[in-house]
Structure 1
Amino acid sequence: MTTLRMAAVSANFGRDIDVALVTVAKLIAEAREQGVGLLVLPEATLGGYLASLDGTAEGPPPLEVDGPEIGRLAALAGDMVVTAGFCERGEGTVYNSAVCVTGDGVLAVHRKVHQPLLESASYGAGQRFEAFDTPVGRLGMMICYDKAFPEAARALALGGAQVVACMSAWPGSRTNPAPDLRQDRWKRRFDLFDRANALQNQLVWVSANQTGDFGTLRFVGSAKIVDPGGEILDDTGVGEGVAVAELDVPAALEQARRAMGHLRDRRPDAY
């Protein structure tokens, strides 16, 4: 039986990319000691997220996909598969992006498609969801608000993704914040989306998130790994931490889909 040990990070990342890479190096080293093959870091790991979502906040420094910062991330990854969020310099604009790397280089880039509130004032929007092959299996990536749209995870599942790495900078509620972040309604939504996407598509869901405060935002953490039945295998809670779980991914997908195959039993002609 071939198993994959996966890890999802809940941590705080700000504007200083050098500091972020020191933190990433520590996280990768610790994950490697535990035999982790796939490590998922949060949205905006390199450079931090927006300080507010009112359309006025200055964004993080844009990076080139083939630039030195992503190169350092790949070198740190070595024989592991690592995903992380960053601000990507694009053609005439910048994107809220995620990259998947190994020591051999960049495997894939995803540009965030769905933009909450006034995020569109700071970033261009991505246009697609594509699954891709990696040394640990076929993966898909999405960023934060993307997971609120069932079509996003379904597109990745139909593209053959076995595991989805979902990277977030998901904050608590702004209009009715709970004194105890564990009871926050936006945290509940974050968790529900994670479990629903895994269950509806019968795949493995690895969800990383920022934690702590940045500008006006208070992030809910709650990094987790969810199995194809929608069950949480490990969860960091709202503080910093790393959720780790080991699973024979092909066997878990086959078992989940054996009797009630949600992809197999679709009726596209009826939708």
Structure 2
Amino acid sequence: MTTLRMAASAAAYGRDLEADFATVAAVIAEARERGVRLLALPEACLGGYLLSLDTPDGAGDAGPPPLDQDGPEIRRLAALAREMTVIAGYCEADGGQRYNSAVCVTGDGVLANHRKVHQPLGENASYASGDRFDAFDTPVGRIGMMICYDKAFPEAARALALDGARIGVCISAWPGARTRPAADLAQDRWKRRFDLFDRARALENQMVWLSANQAGTFGSLRFVAGAKVVDPGGDVLADTGTGPGLAVAELDVDDALTTARRAMGHLRDRRPDAYPPLSLPAPARA
């Protein structure tokens, strides 16, 4: 039996990169002390998220600092990761475009990068959109990455599962409801949706699921936290609740997936011939 100790973080981040790296370093240090080998940090943890989803270009705010995937900030993140596999969110610069991206690193460098595909509300005023979901191999197994609103679309997680992802990692800056917010975040309807998506995506694909999220407030947004680890049956193994913290769980991933898929294999038992086409075929890769 080979177990993997994994963790998802909920923490607050802003525009000050030095302050953000101090938080990242502290979270990684805690995770390392607790024996974690796979760690998910929130969306936009390097440079902060948007001030608002109504007017993303807030007065006097230039937005998150655009960073190069091969630049010094991502190399700094990799140096902090060392032997761990770490996933973190940042604003990626590519030519004249900016993307809301997730990067997976170890001390050896970048393993993979994902650009957020689905954009809620006014986010497309600040970011260009990604166009694919690909799983990739890491020292801790095959992983698929998503960012926040991506997990509201079953096709996204399913595409990763069909590409062999055994662990789905979704990093978020998921806020509470914009209208009629609950005084208690635990009762907030957007918090409820956040949690339902996490459990549903794990269960329907019978995969391990890590969900990281921002905590606290930023601009007009109040984040719901709720970082968690979910097993392939949709059961939550660890959860930070509505505050900052580190959700840590240990699991034999291979055994958990084999057990979950033994009787009813949701991927195995699919009937693609019975499903109507949902979209035009993706263009062929160059």
Q: Same fold (TM over 0.5)?
A: yes
Cα distance in structure 1, aligned partners of 2:103 and 2:88: 6
Matched, 1:266 2:279: no
* Number of aligned residue pairs: 271
1:4 maps to: 4
Which residue identity does 2:168 align to in structure 1?
Answer: V
Match of 2:214 among 210, 214, 225: 210
Structure 2 unaligned blocks of 5 or more:
276-286
Tell me how large the CA RMSD over aligned residues is: 0.6
1:220 maps to: 224
1:201 maps to: 205
In the TM superposition, 1:169-208 aligns within 5 A as 169-208=173-212
2:281 maps to: none
Matched, 1:136 2:140: yes
Cα distance in structure 1, aligned partners of 2:243 and 2:236: 17
Q: CA deviation at 1:18?
A: 1.0
Q: CA deviation at 1:90?
A: 1.4
Q: CA deviation at 1:91?
A: 3.0
2:37 maps to: 37
2:20 maps to: 20
Percent of pairs identical after alignment?
A: 73
Match of 1:247 among 223, 227, 251: 251
2:234 maps to: 230
1:49-101 deviation digits (Å, cap 9, x = unpaired): 00001243342000000111000000000000000000000132100000000
Q: SS of the counterpart of 2:223?
A: strand
Matched, 1:94 2:93: no
Match of 1:82 among 75, 82, 86: 86
Cα distance in structure 2, aligned partners of 1:113 and 1:67: 23
Q: CA deviation at 1:163?
A: 0.4
Cα distance in structure 2, aligned partners of 1:92 and 1:270: 43
| TM-score (normalizing by structure 2) | 0.94
Q: CA deviation at 1:36?
A: 0.4
In the TM superposition, 1:38-77 aligns within 5 A as 38-55=38-55, 56-57=57-58, 58-77=62-81
1:177-204 deviation digits (Å, cap 9, x = unpaired): 0011110000000000000000000000
Which residue identity does 2:142 align to in structure 1?
Answer: R
| TM-score (normalizing by structure 1) | 0.99
Cα distance in structure 2, aligned partners of 1:127 and 1:69: 24
Q: CA deviation at 1:238?
A: 0.5
Moved over 4 A (4+): none
Q: SS of the counterpart of 1:10?
A: strand
Which residue identity does 1:43 align to in structure 2?
Answer: E
Which residue identity does 1:86 align to in structure 2?
Answer: Y
1:160 maps to: 164
Cα distance in structure 1, aligned partners of 2:193 and 2:248: 22
Cα distance in structure 2, aligned partners of 1:156 and 1:59: 30
